[in-house]
Structures are given as C-alpha cells and as structure tokens.
Amino acid sequence: MPFYFDGRRQVSEPFAIELAKRKKVICSIFARWVDVFVNECRCGNKVPFKVTRTWGVSQKESEEFESAVESSLGAEAIGHLKSSIKASSNHEMELTYSKSEEMSYECAAPSCGCCSLRVSQMVYDYEFICYTRGFWFNKDVWDREWSRTLREALPYYSGIPDEQEYDPRCKGCKEQRSPAYDGRLSLNFGNLSLFVPYKINDSGLVAQIEGHALGICDPNDIGKASYQVSLLSSFIHPALLFLGGLPEGELLTGRARIYRSQAMQLEPYVAIGSLLNYTTLKKNLDSAYPTP
C-alpha cells in the first residue's frame, strides 16, 4: 500500500487502446485520497458510531460507462480496456458494483477532553477519451467523440486517531496544556495507514499510539527514509483495524516514515531525510516546533 500523500498523482503514463479500425481510447489513471468521515465525542460523553467499508465503482457510474463504451466500441471493448489497464498500471479495474461492510464502535471521551477519528480512502480516477479517425483525405485527423471519468474506491484507508485530555468546549474544566510533539509519523500496515504523533528524545524516535509509546529507531538511525516497525494490533483503533481488514490480537509488521504535508514542504525547512544525525535533527525540529 502506498503512503498517504496530498493532492493527485498519476499512476501511469497515458496510453492508447486501439479498439476498432477507426477508433481508439486514451486512458489516464490518477490516484488521490478523499475524506470519508470525521467522528468526534467530547466532555465525558459516550457516542456510538457506525463505520462502513466500501470499495469498487458505484452502480450508476458503472452502468453509464459500460453503456457508452458498448454503444460506441462494441460489447468486447470493456474486456480490452480492463486488460490494457492491468498491463499498464499493474492494477485490475473493478467494474462490478461497489460493496460495503459495516461495524459499530463506541467513542468514549475524557471528562474534560475529546476523542476524534478522521479517515480518508484512496480512489483511482480513470479518465477515458474516445477518438474517431476521419475518412479518406482526413484520415490522419482524430476527432474527439466522448469522454468519461470513472472513480473506483480502493480498499486502502488512512486514519488519524486523536485524543486530548482538555477541550475548551467542555464547561467547568481546568485548562491543561497538551503534550508537545515534534510531528506526525505515518505507519503502514497492509491496507491501513495511520498517523500518530512522535517525539525526538535521547532514546531516539518515539511514537505515541493509543496511549502507548512505540520506539521506532535509535538516535543513530534517525534520518532514514523509512523504518520497519512491529506493533500489536490491539494498539490500533478498532474502527481502523476493521477498515484495513487487519486481524485482532496479532503482531503486525509494517513501515514507518516521518510525514510532512504539502503545507510543511512549502515552508523554509530543512528536509528531514537529508539530516544525518540526532543532534542536527533535534536542533531543526526544536526550531520548527518550539515548545510553548
């Protein structure tokens, strides 16, 4: 599974599919993450939530696309399109109707704080443009006949679980200072990517997940592009376990990397991946994220 990223990325170079003597389709594939839901509870409340895992193409989009392709290119064109997409992107386009599974969980907030869960899902945008070739004297001219964009929801999810002991919206509570962290770490396990806060200290890079400290690497290893991590699945939010299709009560192995959003990348800030030792990294992190 790819790490979470901002914006939209091209999966493969645009490619042409010759489907008839005078017709061809240009296909472009893009990947992006879309927000699915944000669940929140606060001030000691317990709130039940339902979470739905959905993947595939919606019935309406699938029917409209198949109708346009078959009427213009013939009944066998769908199969040719799918095989060409798999050959070019190493991904099999799922044209069957979207499928869903559902689970429930209870959000229990601290008496003066809040809990939240923000979830995104990866989707593929298939952009098709069909062209028709002219006759005789204009045989080298290709005229645009139709265009379609098909969205496929993939079974890849990204989540940000967060818990704060103090929320100013809770009445009658004494203000508390939240713990200071150096940034967020992206953890990838199978079909799930989750963001957790991390801190740099004398022990190295340490992540905080569901109230547990997880050592990521020693000080000498800070600055690598990514790290191998092992984590008990019981440390992961139950809704995220469900969305990612991960087993309960097992030791998970995945990859971790320091996450920098697009907004952070535009700031005058030293790239974390280029820093070679703990002292330099800590100095730059303290400058970028000063302790209040």
3-class secondary structure, 113: coil
Residues 266, 288: Cα–Cα separation, whole Å = 13
Q: Check whether 90 has a pLDDT greater than 50.
A: yes
Taking only the tens place, the pLDDT of each residue in 217-237 is 998 888 888 999 999 999 999
Taking all residues of the chain, what is their mean pLDDT, rounded to a whole number?
84
| Residue at token pair 């003597």 | 21
Taking only the tens place, the pLDDT of each residue in 141-172 is 888 988 989 999 999 999 999 999 999 999 99
Mean per-residue pLDDT for 190-215? 90
Residues 214, 65: Cα–Cα separation, whole Å = 47
Residues 198, 195: Cα–Cα separation, whole Å = 10
Q: Check whether 75 has a pLDDT greater than 80.
A: no
| Residue at token pair 């599919």 | 17
Q: Which amino acid is at 95?
A: L
Taking only the tens place, the pLDDT of each residue in 26-66 is 999 999 999 999 999 999 999 999 999 998 888 888 888 88
Mean per-residue pLDDT for 207-212? 87
